[in-house]
C-alpha cells in the first residue's frame, strides 16, 4: 500500500468537499492507512482535521497532539494547535508553536501575521513575542515588516524596539529602518523622527543637525533620516573621510559616467519646524559638464512640493561655497526631503553628464529673518 498516495487522496478530498458522508469515507481511508504506517504524523493530523470538521473538536485536538508527538513540525497540526492556543488564551504556548512552525516553514508567516495583533495586545502574548525576538527568532524581520501595515501594529513594533534596547538586546538597524519607514508611510512623521533620534548611538549623535551627517562621513545606516544611496546607472556615489579620499577631498563624491542621468541616488528625510533657514553647500568639481541643471532640492513630503533649490555650477572649482534661503510656513510641511537631482525629464543621450563633483558639506541653519 502506498501511504503517500493515500495521504494525497485524503488531502484532495478535504480540499474538495466538507460533506459528512465523504468525511466518513476519508476517515476510514486514513485509519486503514494507519495499519501500514502507525508512525506517520500526517495521518493523525488528517484524521484530526476530519474530526474537527465533523464538530468533534476534543477528539480532533487529541489527534493533533498525537501528530505533534510524532513530529513536532507537522504543519497542519501546528496550525490548528496555534489557533486553539489563541482561542483558549494560552498565548505563551501559541507563540512557542508559532516559533516552531516558522523555523521549519518560514513561508507560512503570512498565514500567521493576521493573528499577531491579538497576541500582542495581551501582556502575556506580548512578553512571549518579546522573548522570542530577543532570542533572535529567525522570523523577527518578517514580524516588524508585518506590524508596519497598521497604526496599532506600528505602536506594537515601536514598543518592541524600545523594550529590546532596554533589555540590552539592541534592535537591528534594518528593523529600525522598517519601523521608521512604516511611520512615514502612515504619515506619522513626528513618531518617525523621534524613533530615529532614539536609535542613534553616542557616536552617531555627534553627526546630528538639521541635516544628519552633513559632512558625508562613511557611516551611513540607511535609515530614512540618514543618507540613503540607491544604485543607479550613469553615476557613482561614494563617501570618504578627508584621510581616505583622493587628494584629501573628504565628503560625498559623485562621478558622472558620460551618460544621461534623469535622477540621482542621494537623499535624506529631514524635519524642520516652521521658520526661516539657509541651506549651504561647500563643493569641489573637476570638468563638470551639466547639459541640464544639477541641484539640491528641498521638498515638502506632505503635501508634496518643492520649497527650495540650490543649483550647482558647471566647470572646475575648489571648495566653492553656495547657499540659498528658504522658509517653512506654519504647520505647512511637517517633514521634508533633501535630494540631489537633475532637471532632465527624459534619459536622452543628447543630455550626458560628465565629470566629478565632491560635496564636502551640506548644511541647513536657522536664520533670524
Q: Where are the domains of the chain?
A: 3-199, 228-366
Query: Starting at the edge strand that comes first in sequence, how are the strands of the sheet with 235-240 ordered?
Result: 235-240, 251-260, 352-366, 275-289, 315-328
Q: What are phi and psi of 200, to 5 degrees?
A: -75, 140
Q: What is the pTM of this model?
A: 0.82
Q: Is the C-alpha dihedral spanning 291, 342, 251, 255 positive or negative? A: negative
- CATH classification code of 228-366: 2.60.120.260
Structural contact between residues 80 and 60, judged by C-beta atoms closer than 8 angstroms: yes
Same fold, 3-199 and 228-366: no
- Residue in 221, 114, 127 with CA at minimum distance from that of residue 171: 221
Q: What are phi and psi of 260, to 5 degrees?
A: -65, 145
Tens digits of residue pLDDT in 135-187: 999 999 999 999 999 888 999 999 999 999 888 888 999 999 999 999 999 99
Mean pLDDT of the chain: 89
- CATH classification code of 3-199: 1.25.40.10
Tens digits of residue pLDDT in 241-268: 755 544 456 799 999 998 888 777 799 9
Tens digits of residue pLDDT in 173-219: 999 999 999 999 999 999 999 999 999 988 899 999 999 999 999 98
% residues pLDDT > 90 (the chain): 60
What pLDDT was estimated at residue 245?
Answer: 45
Q: What are phi and psi of 155, to 5 degrees?
A: -60, -40
Amino acid at each position: 500500500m502506498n501511504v503517500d498516495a493515500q495521504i494525497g487522496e485524503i488531502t484532495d478530498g478535504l480540499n474538495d468537499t466538507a460533506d459528512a458522508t465523504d468525511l466518513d469515507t476519508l476517515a476510514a481511508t486514513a485509519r486503514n492507512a494507519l495499519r501500514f504506517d502507525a508512525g506517520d504524523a500526517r495521518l493523525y493530523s488528517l484524521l484530526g482535521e476530519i474530526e474537527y470538521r465533523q464538530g468533534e473538536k476534543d477528539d480532533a485536538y487529541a489527534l493533533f497532539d498525537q501528530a505533534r508527538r510524532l513530529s513536532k513540525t507537522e504543519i497542519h497540526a501546528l496550525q490548528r494547535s496555534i489557533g486553539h492556543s489563541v482561542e483558549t488564551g494560552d498565548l505563551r504556548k501559541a507563540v512557542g508553536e508559532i516559533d516552531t512552525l516558522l523555523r521549519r516553514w518560514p513561508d507560512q508567516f503570512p498565514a500567521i501575521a493576521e493573528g499577531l495583533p491579538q497576541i500582542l495586545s495581551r501582556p502575556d502574548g506580548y512578553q512571549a513575542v518579546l522573548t522570542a525576538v530577543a532570542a533572535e527568532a529567525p522570523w523577527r524581520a518578517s514580524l516588524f515588516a508585518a506590524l508596519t501595515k497598521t497604526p496599532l501594529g506600528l505602536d506594537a513594533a515601536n514598543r518592541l524596539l524600545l523594550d529590546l534596547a532596554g533589555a540590552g538586546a539592541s534592535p537591528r538597524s534594518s528593523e529600525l529602518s522598517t519601523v521608521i519607514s512604516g511611520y512615514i508611510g502612515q504619515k506619522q512623521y513626528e513618531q518617525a523622527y523621534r524613533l530615529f533620534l532614539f536609535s542613534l548611538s553616542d557616536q552617531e549623535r555627534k553627526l546630528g543637525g538639521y541635516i544628519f551627517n552633513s559632512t558625508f562621513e562613511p557611516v551611513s545606516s540607511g535609515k530614512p533620516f540618514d543618507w540613503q544611496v540607491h544604485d543607479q546607472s550613469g553615476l557613482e556615489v561614494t563617501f570618504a573621510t578627508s584621510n581616505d579620499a583622493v587628494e584629501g577631498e573628504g565628503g560625498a563624491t559623485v562621478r558622472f559616467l558620460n551618460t544621461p542621468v534623469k535622477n540621482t541616488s542621494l537623499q535624506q528625510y529631514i524635519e524642520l519646524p516652521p521658520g526661516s533657514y539657509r541651506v549651504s553647500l561647500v563643493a569641489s568639481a573637476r570638468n563638470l559638464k551639466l547639459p541640464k541643471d544639477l541641484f539640491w532640492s528641498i521638498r515638502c513630503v506632505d503635501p508634496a512640493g518643492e520649497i527650495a533649490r540650490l543649483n550647482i555650477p558647471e566647470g572646475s572649482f575648489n571648495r566653492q561655497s553656495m547657499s540659498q534661503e528658504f522658509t517653512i510656513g506654519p504647520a505647512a510641511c511637517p517633514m521634508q526631503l533633501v535630494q540631489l537631482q537633475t532637471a532632465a525629464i527624459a534619459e536622452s543621450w543628447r543630455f550626458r553628464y560628465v565629470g566629478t563633483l565632491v560635496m564636502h558639506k551640506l548644511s541647513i541653519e536657522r536664520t533670524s529673518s
